[in-house]
Amino acid sequence: MSETSSRLDLEHVDPDEVREETMIINMGPQHPSTHGVLRLLLELDGENVVSCQPIVGYLHTGIEKNCEYRTWQQGVAYVTRADYLAPFFNELGYCLAAERLLGIEAPPRAQVLRVLFCEMNRIASHLVWPATTGMELGAISMMLYGFREREVILDVFEAATGLRMNHSYFRIGGVIMDLPPDGPAQIREFLRVMPGRIREYERILSENPIWLERNRGVGHLSADRALAFGVTGPMLRAAGVARDVRKDEPYCGYETYEFGVPTASEGDCYARYLVRVEEMKQSLGIVEQCLDRLAEPGPVMVEDPKLRWPAQLEVGPDGIGNSPAYVRHIMEESMEALIHHFKMVTEGISVPAGEVYQPVESPRGELGYYLVSDGGHRPYRVKIRDPSFVNLQAVPAMLEGALVADAIAVIASVDPVMGGVDR
């Protein structure tokens, strides 16, 4: 250590000198308000943000590479873990893309179940948003309420799929099993309670002076800039562009459901809040329409034995398990059935060569799956176009000239899920 730098020269300090250099501050990757492991390199001039550089990759797990080494069916279990707040949307994008390569369509009942679970998932994901944002901006009660209602939705998911997250419930060709007998009643009860709860959130937040002060006019992003940055989802709709994959390129029969695409014109954090709350209400409407359609029984998986998963599940004393009749069939009655089962489980299905890009509207925007097959038993390429990854690019633009405290509100309004960003 040199003499000059280690000691402050008090003799020659000019009390009138104004220091003009900026300060570089690291926010994250371990920070309670970065929604995971996002790191921001902030250049500050006092309280003002001069520049901002988001740094991602801390949660990279190589999902895309892993998928290339597993069978087509196993891919579902990988992609569901990308954006972990929207697992059903990942499964849906992957399965729809694989089904288009195969040239098949899931049976109608499976499509209704897919829409039902996706919209329930959208509500669950949108609930985490005001919950965490509320916590960061000083509305702690919102966090408690948001997670309380999300828990009810996760209970429905658990009853139907066995898991609260990472369900692997959608499979290529349909869904793995139907709703449990009390499923519709459970969902109806949720639909009865939820509208009142959403009114409760609006009463807490919509005219809350702190909420308004922290969000209104903060993080403005115009429609033109949003489109240039590739921003989609509630962030783009809050800037006045009614772009929604469910309407523009319908899948799973979305064109037959009645729902609106809420937009706002201000393009600030408050507008994003308004859009997300409205979307929850629209999703409730879609879930209700799904329940009415579920009155018709039907298969939930394609019939083709060369495509469908061979095992049959039946609820045993432990809650879940293989069907004893099916196990007897392959172990004692039919050698061909055993060979078929073995081939399907170890080798999997083969998918004709080709490429597709399948977008779905996730809670955060356009979630795209670009699948390439070389005709083999494993995907040749699985590319996930995650909306959080793209939306984060707009953060520096939204933060230019803002205060450092606005960084919290702006990051929160993007609603990034790092599992999806880093994949």
Helix and strand element counts for the chain (H, E): 18, 8
**DSSP assignment letter at 313:** B
Contact flag: residue 389 with other proteins (CB under 8 A): yes
Judged by CB under 8 A, which of 24, 193, 228, 345 binds other proteins? 228
Contact flag: residue 341 with other proteins (CB under 8 A): no
Contact flag: residue 64 with other proteins (CB under 8 A): yes
Nearest to 159 by CA among 177, 142, 141: 177
Identity of the amino acid at 176: I
Contact flag: residue 342 with other proteins (CB under 8 A): no
Contact flag: residue 57 with other proteins (CB under 8 A): yes
Judged by CB under 8 A, which of 24, 32, 62, 193 binds other proteins? 62
Q: How far is the CB of 278 from other proteins (least distance, A)?
A: 21
From residue 93, give the alpha-carbon distance in Å to each of 163, 197, 220, 357, 367.
Answer: 20, 30, 30, 9, 7
Q: How far is the CB of 101 from other proteins (least distance, A)?
A: 7
The per-residue b/e assignment along 143-161, b for 16 or more CB within 10 angstroms, e otherwise, is bebbeebbebbbebbeebb
Contact flag: residue 366 with other proteins (CB under 8 A): yes
Contact flag: residue 350 with other proteins (CB under 8 A): no
Q: Can you tell me whether residue 367 is helix, strand or coil?
A: strand
Total binding residues toward other proteins, as defined by CB under 8 A: 41
Q: Restricting to residues 87-106, which ones interact with other proteins according to CB under 8 A?
A: 100-101, 103
Contact flag: residue 381 with other proteins (CB under 8 A): yes
Nearest to 368 by CA among 322, 420, 312: 420
Q: How far is the CB of 52 from other proteins (least distance, A)?
A: 14
Q: Which is nearer to other proteins, 26 or 334 (CB)?
A: 26
Contact flag: residue 357 with other proteins (CB under 8 A): yes
**DSSP assignment letter at 240:** T
Judged by CB under 8 A, which of 43, 105, 249, 266 binds other proteins? 249
Cβ neighbourhood burial of 329 (10 Å; 0-12, 13-18, 19+): middle
Q: How far is the CB of 348 from other proteins (least distance, A)?
A: 13
- Residues 6 or more apart whose CB falls under 8 angstroms from that of 328 comprise none
Contact flag: residue 65 with other proteins (CB under 8 A): yes
Contact flag: residue 67 with other proteins (CB under 8 A): no
Contact flag: residue 66 with other proteins (CB under 8 A): yes
- Residues 6 or more apart whose CB falls under 8 angstroms from that of 200 comprise 145
The rounded distance, in Å, linking the Cα atoms of 95 and 99 is 6
Q: Residue 383 phi/psi, 5° resolution?
A: -110, 125
Q: Contact at 8 Å (CB) between 412 and 36? A: no
Angle between helices 404-414 and 108-137 (to 10 degrees): 170
Contact flag: residue 261 with other proteins (CB under 8 A): no
Contact flag: residue 72 with other proteins (CB under 8 A): no
Nearest to 31 by CA among 61, 63, 50, 55: 55
The per-residue b/e assignment along 244-274, b for 16 or more CB within 10 angstroms, e otherwise, is bbbeeeebbebeebebebbbbeebbbbbbbb
Contact flag: residue 248 with other proteins (CB under 8 A): yes
User: What is the H or E stretch that residue 373 is in?
Assistant: strand 365-373
Q: How far is the CB of 10 from other proteins (least distance, A)?
A: 40
Contact flag: residue 380 with other proteins (CB under 8 A): yes
Cβ neighbourhood burial of 339 (10 Å; 0-12, 13-18, 19+): exposed
**Which one of the spans 55-63, 133-141, 321-329, 402-410 is the region binding other proteins (CB under 8 A)?**
55-63
Q: How far is the CB of 226 from other proteins (least distance, A)?
A: 10
Contact flag: residue 354 with other proteins (CB under 8 A): yes
Contact flag: residue 241 with other proteins (CB under 8 A): yes
Judged by CB under 8 A, which of 372, 377, 403, 404 binds other proteins? 372
Contact flag: residue 70 with other proteins (CB under 8 A): yes
**Which one of the spans 112-120, 165-173, 256-264, 350-358 is the region binding other proteins (CB under 8 A)?**
350-358
State whether the Cα torsion 246-250-251-256 is positive or negative.
Answer: positive
Q: How far is the CB of 228 from other proteins (least distance, A)?
A: 5
Binding stretches for other proteins (CB under 8 A): 56-57, 60, 62, 64-66, 68-70, 100-101, 103, 227-230, 241, 243, 248-249, 346, 354-357, 359, 366, 368, 370, 372, 380-381, 383, 385, 389-390, 392-393, 422-423
